[in-house]
Chain A
Amino acid sequence: MLLIPCPYCGERAEGEFRYGGEAHFRRPDNHLEATDEAWADYLFMRKNPKGWHRERWMHLAGCRRWFYVVRHTITHKIATAYKVGDAHPDLPA
């Protein structure tokens, strides 16, 4: 069970949240010109790192707002959480 630090509500149990997967990847800018491979990369390909992961969460049973979390995929330790629009914090060493 994760204890997730919602930047708006504080720490709450994982059950109050919905996971949104990898954060900060971008839709092809020129969508009429983008190749099939560029679309596949955006729609399906994921970093899936073994280590620190920037990911999206939504506080469904709370403020219902989306935000970002930096979490480790082996230890499940959460380093930080930040709001949409905030500068992206560095990944821990």
Chain B
Amino acid sequence: MRRYSFVQLLRNAVGLGDGWQQAWRSPEPKSSYDVVIVGGGGHGLATAYYLAKNHGVRNIAVLEKGWLGGGNTGRNTTVVRSNYLWDESAAIYEHSLKLWEGLTRDLNYNLMFSQRGLVMLAHTEHELNEASRRVHANRLNGIDAEIWSREQTLAFIPILNGSKDIRYPVIGSSIQKRAGIARHDAVAWGFARAADALGVDIIQNCEVTAIRRDGSRVVGLDTTRGAIDARKVGLVAAGHSSVLAGLAGFRLPIESHPLQAMVSEPIKPVLDTVVMSGTVHAYVSQSDKGELVMGAGIDAFNSYAQRGSLPILEEIASAMIELFPIVSRLKVLRSWGGIVDICPDASPIIGKTPVDGLYINCGWGTGGFKATPGSGWVLADTIANDRPHPLAAPFSLNRFSSGRLIDEHGAAAVAH
């Protein structure tokens, strides 16, 4: 892999370079691999990358039924933060955020990671109390967090509706200054390029049709591009996790729902942070192109359709106008939906499954993008050592029978 650098950019720009190489190969699948990762989104690619980089595993394939990053990695609102309430969540999301902080350099790929801060608005006394509780919990876990007054909040976000006569006036906020956004496609491409350079075979247009077992142990996969033997298999398929678990013969506490987002037409810079509101229910940032990137909620019903319904978009539009009256004349450029894997306690499932040699990473629901590097890191370690990584251990599948759930519904403030 030729490293990207300013010098290389300059040489190619003036015609002295030898052009740009393809970022990753498109190999034919081999008949057997040490580890096969099912799912070529950010989490799957990160898992393969860290398996190769941290654990020296060389014979790895990533199978993707569509194209790289064509699922939720390319369909989210790119928010990265770590201010979760419970210790278990704080630990894994903060581990992820610390990886984000060095990831562009590590992958040699510009992820456009921008720590522009994330403000969670409080509109009621109760909300401010809960925010205060979360901020203290964050600080005890070594995560930066502050409570801001109404005045501080309005000064930081000039376009925010500061009227006291609205149904939900802003009375304060909490902020995590190290939070921010990243370029989502670059995350998939950067991990793919770096993993490919370490010898990982990335195989697109390859759907798994069966999971073969020998007794209680996984031995391989049947795919639309032929049979592949595998010593270990990691399922990292987000909204399609239940389908894959069904092929392997076990059940998951996951339900798949469409989550929608939309962007406005590009405008001049008006918002240099990320704003979330749980009560009015919106989360928004402005992309470098100038579009306002707005996240909506999920449709209540189960769906695999990668599209949502219009009432949800109507809700996000009305919430946006309530929070930021200046956007009322903006046109919506496009909207889209992704299929998210919703877990009963709004926390992920990472670790071993009832099938030996088969590992799973799913249930990130509406908030998986921010966890991409950390999630890949701990699953790679779990697969390499056949035991849960310490940060992944609390998120095991058996927490649903032990009853030790990690309830992050409240801490998320909004569908994140």
Contact (Cβ within 8 A) B301 A1 = no
Q: Which of A42-89 contact B (CB under 8 A)?
A: 43-50, 53, 55, 71, 73-76
The one of A36, A39, A73 that contacts B304, using a Cβ cutoff of 8 Å: A73
Contact (Cβ within 8 A) B305 A45 = no
Contact (Cβ within 8 A) A48 B302 = yes
User: 8 more A-B contacts (CB under 8 A) besides A44-B344, A48-B256?
Assistant: A2-B309, A22-B255, A22-B302, A39-B401, A47-B251, A73-B304, A74-B303, A76-B305
Confirm or deny: B160 has a beta carbon within 8 angstroms of a beta carbon on chain A: no
Contact (Cβ within 8 A) B301 A19 = yes
Contact (Cβ within 8 A) B304 A45 = no
Chain A residue, CB-CB nearest to B305: A74
The one of B255, B304, B401 that contacts A74, using a Cβ cutoff of 8 Å: B304
Q: Which of A16-51 contact B (CB under 8 A)?
A: 18-19, 21-22, 35-37, 39-41, 43-50
**Chain A contacts for B401, CB-based, 8 A:** 35-37, 39-40
B330-351 contact mask (Cβ, 8 Å, vs A): 1 or 0: 0000000000000010000000
Confirm or deny: B240 has a beta carbon within 8 angstroms of a beta carbon on chain A: yes
Confirm or deny: A14 has a beta carbon within 8 angstroms of a beta carbon on chain B: yes
The one of B251, B252, B254, B301 that contacts A71, using a Cβ cutoff of 8 Å: B301
B342 CB to closest chain A CB (Å) equals 9
**Chain A contacts for B254, CB-based, 8 A:** 46, 48
A71 CB to closest chain B CB (Å) equals 7
**Chain A contacts for B311, CB-based, 8 A:** 1, 14-15
Chain B residue, CB-CB nearest to A20: B300
B236-260 contact mask (Cβ, 8 Å, vs A): 1 or 0: 0000101100000001111110000
Confirm or deny: B400 has a beta carbon within 8 angstroms of a beta carbon on chain A: yes
A23 CB to closest chain B CB (Å) equals 11
Chain A residue, CB-CB nearest to B242: A48
Contact (Cβ within 8 A) A45 B253 = yes
**Assembly CA distance A52 to B311 (angstroms):** 23
CB-CB under 8 A for A2 and B301, given A41-B251, A45-B251, A50-B240 = yes
**Chain A contacts for B240, CB-based, 8 A:** 50
Q: Which residues of A contact B (CB under 8 A)?
A: 1-2, 14-15, 18-19, 21-22, 35-37, 39-41, 43-50, 53, 55, 71, 73-76
B313 CB to closest chain A CB (Å) equals 11
Contact (Cβ within 8 A) A44 B305 = no
B415 CB to closest chain A CB (Å) equals 16
CB-CB under 8 A for A14 and B305, given A40-B401, A48-B252 = no
Instruction: Name the residue in B255, B301, B305 with the highest tally of chain A Cβ atoms < 10 Å from its Cβ.
Output: B301
**Chain A contacts for B31, CB-based, 8 A:** none
**Assembly CA distance A23 to B403 (angstroms):** 23
A91 CB to closest chain B CB (Å) equals 15
Instruction: Name the residue in A41, A47, A48, A75 with the highest tally of chain B Cβ atoms < 10 Å from its Cβ.
Output: A48
Chain A to chain B: the 3 pairs with minimum beta-carbon distance, closest first: A44-B253, A48-B242, A40-B401
Q: Which of B288-338 contact A (CB under 8 A)?
A: 300-305, 309-311
Contact (Cβ within 8 A) B309 A73 = no
Contact (Cβ within 8 A) A18 B253 = no
